[in-house]
Structure 1
Amino acid sequence: MSTITDVRIRQTGVNELFLGKTFDDYRVESAKQSEVADVARTYTENFETIRKLGTWLLFLGSPGTGKTHLACAAVQSLAVRGYSAKYVKAAELFRRVKESWQDGTKERASEVIKKMIDVDLLVIDELGGQFGSSAEQNILYDVIDGRYERKKPLIGTSNRDYVTLTKLIGNQCMDRFQDRICNSRIFVFDWPSHRSGICRS
Protein backbone atom coordinates (compact mmCIF):
# COMPACT_ATOMS: atom_id res chain seq x y z
CA MET A 1 0.00 0.00 0.00
CA SER A 2 1.37 3.40 -0.90
CA THR A 3 1.66 6.01 1.83
CA ILE A 4 -1.15 8.16 0.41
CA THR A 5 -3.44 5.16 -0.03
CA ASP A 6 -2.66 3.92 3.47
CA VAL A 7 -3.47 7.32 4.97
CA ARG A 8 -6.74 7.55 3.05
CA ILE A 9 -7.83 4.11 4.21
CA ARG A 10 -6.93 4.73 7.84
CA GLN A 11 -8.84 8.00 7.79
CA THR A 12 -12.03 6.06 7.04
CA GLY A 13 -12.19 4.77 10.60
CA VAL A 14 -12.28 1.11 9.57
CA ASN A 15 -10.93 -0.99 12.43
CA GLU A 16 -7.92 -3.29 12.24
CA LEU A 17 -10.09 -6.39 11.78
CA PHE A 18 -11.35 -5.19 8.40
CA LEU A 19 -8.51 -2.89 7.36
CA GLY A 20 -7.45 -3.81 3.84
CA LYS A 21 -10.40 -6.13 3.24
CA THR A 22 -11.75 -6.09 -0.31
CA PHE A 23 -14.69 -7.53 -2.21
CA ASP A 24 -12.38 -10.25 -3.52
CA ASP A 25 -11.75 -11.40 0.07
CA TYR A 26 -15.47 -11.94 0.68
CA ARG A 27 -16.32 -15.65 0.83
CA VAL A 28 -19.25 -16.55 -1.43
CA GLU A 29 -20.98 -19.88 -0.92
CA SER A 30 -24.47 -19.30 -2.33
CA ALA A 31 -26.31 -17.45 -5.08
CA LYS A 32 -27.76 -14.99 -2.55
CA GLN A 33 -24.31 -14.15 -1.22
CA SER A 34 -23.05 -13.67 -4.75
CA GLU A 35 -25.95 -11.31 -5.49
CA VAL A 36 -25.38 -9.06 -2.49
CA ALA A 37 -21.61 -9.03 -3.03
CA ASP A 38 -22.18 -7.98 -6.65
CA VAL A 39 -24.56 -5.23 -5.51
CA ALA A 40 -22.00 -3.86 -3.05
CA ARG A 41 -19.20 -3.98 -5.62
CA THR A 42 -21.34 -2.34 -8.31
CA TYR A 43 -22.40 0.31 -5.79
CA THR A 44 -18.80 1.48 -5.49
CA GLU A 45 -17.85 0.96 -9.14
CA ASN A 46 -20.77 3.15 -10.24
CA PHE A 47 -20.50 5.59 -7.37
CA GLU A 48 -20.97 8.71 -9.47
CA THR A 49 -24.40 7.42 -10.46
CA ILE A 50 -25.08 6.40 -6.86
CA ARG A 51 -24.23 9.93 -5.73
CA LYS A 52 -26.68 11.45 -8.20
CA LEU A 53 -29.46 9.13 -7.03
CA GLY A 54 -28.56 9.22 -3.34
CA THR A 55 -28.94 5.44 -3.09
CA TRP A 56 -28.76 3.74 0.31
CA LEU A 57 -28.17 0.10 1.25
CA LEU A 58 -29.18 -1.66 4.47
CA PHE A 59 -27.71 -5.04 5.39
CA LEU A 60 -29.65 -7.07 7.98
CA GLY A 61 -28.67 -10.44 9.42
CA SER A 62 -27.04 -12.44 12.16
CA PRO A 63 -23.45 -11.74 13.26
CA GLY A 64 -20.77 -13.32 11.11
CA THR A 65 -22.61 -13.22 7.79
CA GLY A 66 -20.36 -10.66 6.11
CA LYS A 67 -22.31 -7.43 6.46
CA THR A 68 -19.46 -5.41 7.93
CA HIS A 69 -16.94 -6.94 5.54
CA LEU A 70 -18.85 -5.72 2.48
CA ALA A 71 -19.54 -2.32 4.02
CA CYS A 72 -15.87 -1.82 4.93
CA ALA A 73 -14.77 -3.01 1.49
CA ALA A 74 -17.01 -0.33 -0.02
CA VAL A 75 -15.60 2.41 2.22
CA GLN A 76 -12.00 1.48 1.49
CA SER A 77 -12.57 1.04 -2.23
CA LEU A 78 -13.91 4.58 -2.46
CA ALA A 79 -11.22 6.06 -0.20
CA VAL A 80 -8.50 4.66 -2.45
CA ARG A 81 -10.15 6.43 -5.39
CA GLY A 82 -10.11 9.77 -3.58
CA TYR A 83 -13.64 9.95 -2.24
CA SER A 84 -14.27 10.92 1.37
CA ALA A 85 -15.70 7.86 3.12
CA LYS A 86 -16.32 7.17 6.79
CA TYR A 87 -17.04 4.04 8.82
CA VAL A 88 -18.54 4.39 12.29
CA LYS A 89 -20.31 2.07 14.67
CA ALA A 90 -23.65 3.41 15.88
CA ALA A 91 -22.46 3.15 19.49
CA GLU A 92 -19.39 5.28 18.69
CA LEU A 93 -21.55 7.89 16.98
CA PHE A 94 -23.83 8.15 20.01
CA ARG A 95 -20.87 8.25 22.40
CA ARG A 96 -19.18 11.10 20.52
CA VAL A 97 -22.33 13.19 20.42
CA LYS A 98 -23.17 12.56 24.08
CA GLU A 99 -19.62 13.43 25.15
CA SER A 100 -19.92 16.71 23.26
CA TRP A 101 -22.75 17.72 25.59
CA GLN A 102 -20.27 17.95 28.49
CA ASP A 103 -18.51 21.18 29.38
CA GLY A 104 -14.98 21.62 28.09
CA THR A 105 -15.21 19.14 25.22
CA LYS A 106 -13.35 19.87 21.99
CA GLU A 107 -16.21 18.87 19.67
CA ARG A 108 -19.74 20.21 19.64
CA ALA A 109 -22.63 17.90 18.79
CA SER A 110 -23.35 19.86 15.63
CA GLU A 111 -19.74 19.39 14.50
CA VAL A 112 -19.86 15.62 15.03
CA ILE A 113 -23.10 15.36 13.09
CA LYS A 114 -21.83 17.64 10.30
CA LYS A 115 -18.77 15.43 9.80
CA MET A 116 -21.07 12.43 9.38
CA ILE A 117 -23.24 14.30 6.90
CA ASP A 118 -20.49 15.82 4.77
CA VAL A 119 -18.55 12.71 3.65
CA ASP A 120 -19.28 11.19 0.24
CA LEU A 121 -20.15 7.80 1.76
CA LEU A 122 -21.05 7.01 5.35
CA VAL A 123 -21.28 3.50 6.78
CA ILE A 124 -23.10 3.13 10.10
CA ASP A 125 -22.39 -0.32 11.50
CA GLU A 126 -24.39 -2.22 14.13
CA LEU A 127 -27.54 -0.12 14.00
CA GLY A 128 -29.97 -1.13 16.73
CA GLY A 129 -27.26 -2.46 19.00
CA GLN A 130 -28.08 0.12 21.65
CA PHE A 131 -31.10 0.86 23.83
CA GLY A 132 -33.16 2.74 21.28
CA SER A 133 -33.60 5.70 23.63
CA SER A 134 -35.21 8.89 22.36
CA ALA A 135 -31.83 10.64 22.60
CA GLU A 136 -30.18 7.99 20.40
CA GLN A 137 -33.06 8.07 17.93
CA ASN A 138 -32.77 11.85 17.68
CA ILE A 139 -29.01 11.71 17.10
CA LEU A 140 -29.40 9.06 14.43
CA TYR A 141 -32.24 10.93 12.77
CA ASP A 142 -30.17 14.11 12.57
CA VAL A 143 -27.44 12.23 10.71
CA ILE A 144 -29.73 10.15 8.53
CA ASP A 145 -32.08 12.97 7.61
CA GLY A 146 -29.16 15.32 6.95
CA ARG A 147 -27.70 12.88 4.45
CA TYR A 148 -31.10 12.09 2.97
CA GLU A 149 -31.87 15.75 2.28
CA ARG A 150 -28.51 16.16 0.55
CA LYS A 151 -28.84 12.87 -1.40
CA LYS A 152 -25.70 11.53 0.26
CA PRO A 153 -25.17 7.75 -0.08
CA LEU A 154 -25.25 5.65 3.09
CA ILE A 155 -24.78 1.99 3.98
CA GLY A 156 -26.20 0.67 7.23
CA THR A 157 -25.76 -2.72 8.87
CA SER A 158 -27.62 -4.37 11.73
CA ASN A 159 -27.78 -7.69 13.54
CA ARG A 160 -31.47 -7.03 14.20
CA ASP A 161 -34.42 -8.12 12.10
CA TYR A 162 -36.48 -5.54 10.24
CA VAL A 163 -39.28 -5.21 12.81
CA THR A 164 -36.96 -4.98 15.82
CA LEU A 165 -34.64 -2.50 14.11
CA THR A 166 -37.56 -0.28 13.15
CA LYS A 167 -38.64 -0.12 16.78
CA LEU A 168 -35.11 0.77 17.90
CA ILE A 169 -34.23 3.43 15.33
CA GLY A 170 -37.73 4.75 14.67
CA ASN A 171 -40.06 4.72 11.68
CA GLN A 172 -38.65 7.92 10.21
CA CYS A 173 -35.12 6.56 10.02
CA MET A 174 -36.26 3.25 8.58
CA ASP A 175 -38.36 5.03 5.96
CA ARG A 176 -35.22 6.68 4.61
CA PHE A 177 -33.70 3.25 3.91
CA GLN A 178 -36.72 2.31 1.79
CA ASP A 179 -36.92 5.29 -0.54
CA ARG A 180 -37.74 3.88 -3.96
CA ILE A 181 -37.07 7.18 -5.69
CA CYS A 182 -33.41 6.87 -4.63
CA ASN A 183 -33.40 3.16 -5.55
CA SER A 184 -32.45 2.26 -1.97
CA ARG A 185 -32.51 -1.44 -1.05
CA ILE A 186 -32.59 -3.70 2.00
CA PHE A 187 -30.82 -7.07 1.97
CA VAL A 188 -31.26 -9.89 4.49
CA PHE A 189 -28.13 -11.96 5.12
CA ASP A 190 -29.89 -15.20 6.10
CA TRP A 191 -27.05 -17.66 5.60
CA PRO A 192 -24.87 -19.29 8.31
CA SER A 193 -22.10 -17.39 10.07
CA HIS A 194 -18.62 -17.39 8.55
CA ARG A 195 -16.89 -16.90 11.86
CA SER A 196 -15.84 -20.51 12.26
CA GLY A 197 -12.23 -20.29 11.18
CA ILE A 198 -12.34 -16.77 9.71
CA CYS A 199 -13.48 -13.78 11.74
CA ARG A 200 -16.13 -11.75 9.99
CA SER A 201 -19.09 -9.56 10.96
Structure 2
Amino acid sequence: MNTMALLTDGFQKVEVFCTEHNIAKVQAGPNQICPKCAINLVEFQNKNRQKEIDQMVREKHFAGAMLPERHAESGFKNYTVQHAGQKNSLNQSISYAKNILIGVKNNFVMVGKTGVGKTHLSCATARTLLNKGMYVRYITSEEMAQKIMRAWDKDTKDASERSVIYEFTQYDLLILDEYGLHDRDKRLELVHKVLYARYDAMKPTMLISNFTLAELQKDLGDRLWSRFQQGGLTVVECNWADQRLGQVGGGV
Protein backbone atom coordinates (compact mmCIF):
# COMPACT_ATOMS: atom_id res chain seq x y z
CA MET A 1 0.00 0.00 0.00
CA ASN A 2 1.45 3.39 -1.01
CA THR A 3 1.67 6.47 1.20
CA MET A 4 -1.36 8.14 -0.37
CA ALA A 5 -3.48 5.05 0.26
CA LEU A 6 -2.31 4.90 3.88
CA LEU A 7 -3.40 8.47 4.43
CA THR A 8 -6.81 8.10 2.74
CA ASP A 9 -7.75 4.60 3.91
CA GLY A 10 -10.29 4.78 6.72
CA PHE A 11 -10.85 8.51 6.35
CA GLN A 12 -14.04 9.96 4.95
CA LYS A 13 -13.60 12.05 1.86
CA VAL A 14 -15.35 15.40 1.94
CA GLU A 15 -16.70 17.59 -0.82
CA VAL A 16 -13.83 20.02 -0.44
CA PHE A 17 -10.97 20.00 -2.90
CA CYS A 18 -7.39 21.08 -2.40
CA THR A 19 -6.82 24.14 -4.59
CA GLU A 20 -3.17 23.19 -5.11
CA HIS A 21 -3.55 19.50 -5.99
CA ASN A 22 -7.23 19.40 -7.10
CA ILE A 23 -8.00 16.28 -5.04
CA ALA A 24 -10.63 15.73 -2.39
CA LYS A 25 -9.65 16.41 1.18
CA VAL A 26 -10.39 13.90 3.95
CA GLN A 27 -11.87 14.42 7.37
CA ALA A 28 -9.23 13.89 10.07
CA GLY A 29 -10.85 14.63 13.40
CA PRO A 30 -12.05 18.21 13.34
CA ASN A 31 -9.80 19.05 10.37
CA GLN A 32 -10.09 18.61 6.65
CA ILE A 33 -6.73 17.85 5.05
CA CYS A 34 -5.35 17.17 1.60
CA PRO A 35 -3.51 13.79 1.62
CA LYS A 36 -0.84 15.05 -0.78
CA CYS A 37 -0.27 18.21 1.27
CA ALA A 38 0.09 15.96 4.33
CA ILE A 39 2.68 13.81 2.56
CA ASN A 40 4.65 16.90 1.51
CA LEU A 41 4.55 18.21 5.08
CA VAL A 42 5.84 14.91 6.49
CA GLU A 43 8.62 14.76 3.90
CA PHE A 44 9.60 18.37 4.65
CA GLN A 45 9.69 17.65 8.39
CA ASN A 46 11.77 14.51 7.83
CA LYS A 47 14.26 16.40 5.67
CA ASN A 48 14.59 19.13 8.29
CA ARG A 49 15.07 16.52 11.00
CA GLN A 50 17.79 14.82 8.96
CA LYS A 51 19.51 18.17 8.49
CA GLU A 52 19.42 18.70 12.26
CA ILE A 53 20.90 15.24 12.85
CA ASP A 54 23.61 15.81 10.24
CA GLN A 55 24.47 19.16 11.86
CA MET A 56 24.66 17.57 15.31
CA VAL A 57 26.99 14.85 14.01
CA ARG A 58 29.15 17.44 12.26
CA GLU A 59 29.42 19.55 15.41
CA LYS A 60 30.31 16.47 17.43
CA HIS A 61 33.06 15.54 14.97
CA PHE A 62 34.52 19.05 15.08
CA ALA A 63 34.36 19.24 18.87
CA GLY A 64 36.07 15.87 19.19
CA ALA A 65 38.89 16.94 16.89
CA MET A 66 40.05 19.53 19.46
CA LEU A 67 41.34 21.95 16.82
CA PRO A 68 42.96 25.08 18.30
CA GLU A 69 40.50 27.95 18.60
CA ARG A 70 42.88 30.17 16.65
CA HIS A 71 42.51 27.82 13.69
CA ALA A 72 38.78 27.18 13.96
CA GLU A 73 38.28 28.70 10.50
CA SER A 74 41.63 27.80 8.93
CA GLY A 75 41.08 26.23 5.54
CA PHE A 76 42.87 25.68 2.27
CA LYS A 77 41.13 28.66 0.67
CA ASN A 78 42.36 31.21 3.24
CA TYR A 79 45.95 29.97 3.38
CA THR A 80 48.30 32.72 2.22
CA VAL A 81 50.35 31.87 -0.87
CA GLN A 82 53.13 34.27 -1.74
CA HIS A 83 55.81 32.02 -3.21
CA ALA A 84 56.48 28.57 -4.66
CA GLY A 85 57.24 26.96 -1.30
CA GLN A 86 53.85 27.90 0.12
CA LYS A 87 52.13 26.81 -3.08
CA ASN A 88 53.81 23.41 -2.85
CA SER A 89 52.86 23.04 0.83
CA LEU A 90 49.25 23.87 0.03
CA ASN A 91 49.07 21.49 -2.93
CA GLN A 92 50.69 18.65 -0.98
CA SER A 93 48.25 19.12 1.91
CA ILE A 94 45.24 19.18 -0.41
CA SER A 95 46.44 16.03 -2.18
CA TYR A 96 46.99 14.32 1.16
CA ALA A 97 43.45 15.11 2.31
CA LYS A 98 42.01 13.84 -0.98
CA ASN A 99 44.01 10.62 -0.72
CA ILE A 100 42.74 9.89 2.78
CA LEU A 101 39.18 10.43 1.58
CA ILE A 102 39.64 7.69 -1.02
CA GLY A 103 41.22 5.30 1.47
CA VAL A 104 44.97 5.89 1.08
CA LYS A 105 46.66 5.42 4.46
CA ASN A 106 50.11 6.93 4.22
CA ASN A 107 51.74 9.40 6.60
CA PHE A 108 52.61 13.07 6.26
CA VAL A 109 55.52 15.04 7.72
CA MET A 110 55.71 18.81 7.75
CA VAL A 111 58.78 20.51 9.22
CA GLY A 112 59.88 24.13 9.48
CA LYS A 113 60.33 27.06 11.78
CA THR A 114 57.50 28.45 13.85
CA GLY A 115 54.99 30.77 12.20
CA VAL A 116 55.26 29.47 8.64
CA GLY A 117 51.75 28.01 8.39
CA LYS A 118 52.21 24.37 9.40
CA THR A 119 49.37 24.30 11.92
CA HIS A 120 47.10 26.22 9.53
CA LEU A 121 47.55 23.57 6.84
CA SER A 122 47.15 20.69 9.28
CA CYS A 123 43.88 22.17 10.57
CA ALA A 124 42.71 22.79 7.00
CA THR A 125 43.35 19.10 6.33
CA ALA A 126 41.41 18.19 9.46
CA ARG A 127 38.45 20.40 8.54
CA THR A 128 38.29 18.87 5.05
CA LEU A 129 38.05 15.36 6.50
CA LEU A 130 35.68 16.37 9.30
CA ASN A 131 33.30 17.90 6.77
CA LYS A 132 33.17 14.48 5.10
CA GLY A 133 32.26 12.74 8.35
CA MET A 134 35.68 11.33 9.20
CA TYR A 135 37.16 11.30 12.70
CA VAL A 136 40.24 13.44 13.24
CA ARG A 137 42.17 14.36 16.38
CA TYR A 138 44.58 17.27 16.77
CA ILE A 139 46.99 17.22 19.71
CA THR A 140 50.52 18.37 20.56
CA SER A 141 53.09 15.78 21.54
CA GLU A 142 53.37 17.22 25.07
CA GLU A 143 49.59 17.12 25.55
CA MET A 144 49.54 13.54 24.32
CA ALA A 145 52.29 12.46 26.74
CA GLN A 146 50.54 14.23 29.61
CA LYS A 147 47.23 12.51 28.81
CA ILE A 148 48.87 9.09 28.89
CA MET A 149 50.71 9.89 32.11
CA ARG A 150 47.50 11.06 33.79
CA ALA A 151 46.10 7.60 33.16
CA TRP A 152 48.79 6.21 35.44
CA ASP A 153 46.84 7.52 38.42
CA LYS A 154 44.32 4.75 37.87
CA ASP A 155 44.58 1.35 39.54
CA THR A 156 46.31 -0.61 36.78
CA LYS A 157 49.02 1.50 35.19
CA ASP A 158 49.72 -0.70 32.16
CA ALA A 159 46.06 -1.25 31.31
CA SER A 160 45.25 2.46 31.67
CA GLU A 161 48.19 3.43 29.47
CA ARG A 162 47.13 0.92 26.81
CA SER A 163 43.56 2.24 26.84
CA VAL A 164 44.70 5.80 26.11
CA ILE A 165 47.07 4.65 23.37
CA TYR A 166 44.25 2.56 21.92
CA GLU A 167 42.04 5.66 21.91
CA PHE A 168 44.60 7.48 19.75
CA THR A 169 44.63 4.61 17.25
CA GLN A 170 40.91 4.94 16.52
CA TYR A 171 40.96 8.24 14.62
CA ASP A 172 40.95 8.23 10.83
CA LEU A 173 43.73 10.82 11.05
CA LEU A 174 45.89 11.86 13.99
CA ILE A 175 47.56 15.27 13.74
CA LEU A 176 50.52 15.36 16.11
CA ASP A 177 51.74 18.95 16.32
CA GLU A 178 54.83 20.44 17.95
CA TYR A 179 56.62 17.12 17.86
CA GLY A 180 59.91 17.48 19.70
CA LEU A 181 58.75 20.16 22.14
CA HIS A 182 57.72 17.58 24.72
CA ASP A 183 60.03 16.84 27.64
CA ARG A 184 62.42 14.07 26.74
CA ASP A 185 63.06 10.52 27.96
CA LYS A 186 59.80 8.99 29.22
CA ARG A 187 57.53 11.38 27.33
CA LEU A 188 59.35 10.64 24.07
CA GLU A 189 58.81 6.93 24.65
CA LEU A 190 55.06 7.47 25.19
CA VAL A 191 54.68 9.52 22.01
CA HIS A 192 56.53 6.83 20.06
CA LYS A 193 54.23 4.15 21.48
CA VAL A 194 51.27 5.95 19.91
CA LEU A 195 53.05 6.23 16.56
CA TYR A 196 53.91 2.53 16.63
CA ALA A 197 50.31 1.66 17.55
CA ARG A 198 48.94 3.67 14.63
CA TYR A 199 51.44 1.97 12.32
CA ASP A 200 50.21 -1.43 13.50
CA ALA A 201 46.60 -0.33 13.02
CA MET A 202 47.40 1.02 9.53
CA LYS A 203 46.15 4.49 10.44
CA PRO A 204 47.65 7.66 8.88
CA THR A 205 49.41 10.25 11.00
CA MET A 206 50.25 13.87 10.19
CA LEU A 207 53.42 14.82 12.07
CA ILE A 208 54.24 18.53 12.48
CA SER A 209 57.56 19.69 13.90
CA ASN A 210 59.92 22.64 14.23
CA PHE A 211 62.80 20.20 13.73
CA THR A 212 64.68 20.02 10.49
CA LEU A 213 63.97 16.85 8.54
CA ALA A 214 67.34 15.39 9.60
CA GLU A 215 66.64 16.18 13.26
CA LEU A 216 63.22 14.60 13.02
CA GLN A 217 64.59 11.40 11.50
CA LYS A 218 67.18 11.14 14.26
CA ASP A 219 64.61 11.76 16.99
CA LEU A 220 62.20 9.16 15.65
CA GLY A 221 64.99 6.61 15.28
CA ASP A 222 65.69 4.25 12.40
CA ARG A 223 62.97 1.67 13.24
CA LEU A 224 60.13 4.17 13.61
CA TRP A 225 61.26 6.32 10.68
CA SER A 226 61.33 3.22 8.48
CA ARG A 227 57.81 2.27 9.53
CA PHE A 228 56.61 5.83 9.08
CA GLN A 229 57.60 5.67 5.41
CA GLN A 230 55.83 2.41 4.66
CA GLY A 231 53.07 2.83 2.10
CA GLY A 232 54.44 6.20 1.00
CA LEU A 233 55.37 9.27 2.98
CA THR A 234 54.62 12.89 2.04
CA VAL A 235 57.34 15.28 3.27
CA VAL A 236 56.93 19.06 3.21
CA GLU A 237 59.76 21.35 4.32
CA CYS A 238 58.66 24.91 5.08
CA ASN A 239 61.90 26.82 4.65
CA TRP A 240 60.73 30.41 4.86
CA ALA A 241 60.44 33.19 7.42
CA ASP A 242 58.04 33.57 10.33
CA GLN A 243 55.01 35.57 9.17
CA ARG A 244 54.21 36.57 12.74
CA LEU A 245 57.32 38.75 12.64
CA GLY A 246 55.94 40.65 9.67
CA GLN A 247 58.04 38.81 7.10
CA VAL A 248 56.93 36.74 4.13
CA GLY A 249 55.05 33.71 5.40
CA GLY A 250 52.26 31.25 4.82
CA GLY A 251 49.85 31.80 7.67
CA VAL A 252 50.19 31.10 11.36
Q: Same fold (TM over 0.5)?
A: yes
Report the CA distance between 1:200 and its aligned residue.
4.7
Asked if 1:144 is matched to 2:175, the reply is no
Mapping for residues 116-135 of structure 1, pairs under 5 Å: 116-133=168-185, 135=186
Deviates more, 1:156-165 or 1:56-65: 156-165
| Residue 117 (structure 2) aligns with | 66
Asked if 1:193 is matched to 2:245, the reply is no
Report the CA distance between 1:38 and its aligned residue.
0.9
CA distance in 1, matches of 2:111, 2:199: 20
TM-score scaled to structure 1, two decimals?
A: 0.86
Q: 1:166 aligns with which of 212, 217, 223?
A: 217
Report the CA distance between 1:12 and its aligned residue.
0.4
CA distance in 1, matches of 2:169, 2:216: 22
TM-score scaled to structure 2, two decimals?
A: 0.70
Report the CA distance between 1:4 and its aligned residue.
4.1
Name the one with the larger strand percent. 2
Contact conserved, 1:78 with 1:85, CA < 8 A, in 2?
Answer: yes
CA distance in 2, matches of 1:170, 1:136: 15
CA distance in 1, matches of 2:222, 2:57: 41
Asked if 1:28 is matched to 2:28, the reply is no
Ranked by relative contact order (alpha carbons within 8 Å, sequence separation 6 or more), the top structure is 1
**One-letter code of the match for 1:127?**
Y
Q: Name the larger-Rg structure.
A: 2
CA RMSD of aligned residues (A): 2.4
Asked if 1:46 is matched to 2:99, the reply is yes
Report the CA distance between 1:3 and its aligned residue.
4.9
CA distance in 1, matches of 2:174, 2:224: 15
Mapping for residues 75-154 of structure 1, pairs under 5 Å: 75-103=126-154, 108-133=160-185, 135-154=186-205
CA distance in 1, matches of 2:94, 2:250: 21
| Residue 14 (structure 1) aligns with | 67
| Residue-pair matches, total | 195
Contact conserved, 1:137 with 1:170, CA < 8 A, in 2?
Answer: no
